[in-house]
Amino acid sequence: MFKLLLVLKYLRRKLAPLFAALAVMLCTAMVIIVMSVMGGFLENFRASAHALTGDIVVEGPLQGFTGYEELVATIEALPEVAAAAPMLRAVGLVNFRDTAKPVQLQGVDFQKLEQIVGYKKTLLWNNDQLRQHLRDPQSEAGKAFVAKMTRAFPIDPGPEAGAKIPALALPEAVMGVEVYPFQRRNDDGDYELSRSRAGEKLPVTVIPLTEAGTVGVLEPVRREILITNEVKSGLYDIDASAVVLPFSTLQSMLNMQPRTGFTDFDPNTGRGGEEIQVPGRANQLVIKAAPGADLLAARDAVQAVIAKQWEDRPLQFPPLARTWEEVHQNILGAVENEKGLVTFLFGIIGLVAVVMVATTFYMIVLEKTRDIGVLRAIGASRGGIMGLFVGYGLAIGVVGSLLGLAIAVGIVTHLNEIQAILNTWFGWQMWDPKTYFFDRIPDTVNYTEALRVVAGAIISSVVGAMIPAWIAGRLKPVDALRYE
Partner 1 sequence: MNLTATPAPAAVTAPPPILRAQAIEKTYRMGGKDLRVLKGVDCEVRPGELLAILGRSGSGKSTLLHLLGGLDRPDAGQVFYDGEDVYRRRGRELDRYRNHSVGFVFQFYHLLPELSALENVTVAAMLQRGVAGWMGAKKQLTQRARDLLDQMGLADRMTHRPSKLSGGERQRVAIARALINEPRVLLADEPTGNLDQETGASILELFDQLHAGGQTTVMVTHDPKVADAADRVVTLVGGRLAGEEVAQSPTDQPAP
Q: Would you tell me which residues interact with partner 1 (CB under 8 A)?
A: 1-2, 4-6, 9-10, 13-14, 370-371, 373-382, 384, 476-478, 481
Minimum CB–partner distance for residue 463 and partner 1 (Å)? 25
Long-range contacts of 479-484 (CB under 8 A, 24+ apart): 479/373, 480/369, 480/370, 480/372, 480/373, 480/374, 480/376, 481/370, 481/373, 481/374, 481/377, 482/373, 483/369, 483/370, 483/373
Minimum CB–partner distance for residue 455 and partner 1 (Å)? 24
Distance separating alpha carbons of residues 195 and 177, to the nearest angstrom = 10
Q: Hey, which residues does 284 pair with through a beta bridge?
A: 59, 87
Minimum CB–partner distance for residue 3 and partner 1 (Å)? 9
**Helix, strand, coil distribution of the chain in percent, nearest 5:** 55, 15, 30
Q: Centre a 10 Å sphere on the Cβ of residue 23 and count the other Cβ atoms it contains.
A: 25
Q: Name which of 191 and 392 has its Cβ closer to partner 1.
A: 392
Q: Name which of 418 and 481 has its Cβ closer to partner 1.
A: 481
Distance separating alpha carbons of residues 186 and 386, to the nearest angstrom = 60
Minimum CB–partner distance for residue 483 and partner 1 (Å)? 11
Minimum CB–partner distance for residue 24 and partner 1 (Å)? 21
Distance separating alpha carbons of residues 347 and 354, to the nearest angstrom = 11
Q: Name which of 217 and 377 has its Cβ closer to partner 1.
A: 377
Q: Hey, which residues does 191 pair with through a beta bridge?
A: 185
Q: Name which of 154 and 379 has its Cβ closer to partner 1.
A: 379
Q: Which helix (H) or strand (E) holds 309?
A: helix 295-309
Minimum CB–partner distance for residue 2 and partner 1 (Å)? 4
Minimum CB–partner distance for residue 190 and partner 1 (Å)? 59
Length of the chain, in residues: 484
Give the DSSP per-residue string, 209-265: --TT--SSSSPPEEEEEE--EEE--S-HHHHTTEEEEEHHHHHHHTT-S-EEEETT-
Minimum CB–partner distance for residue 54 and partner 1 (Å)? 59
Q: Name which of 38 and 385 has its Cβ closer to partner 1.
A: 385
What angle, 0 to 180 degrees and rounded to 10, lies between the N-to-C axes of helices 382-413 and 415-426?
A: 70
Distance separating alpha carbons of residues 232 and 116, to the nearest angstrom = 18
DSSP single-letter state for residue 101: E
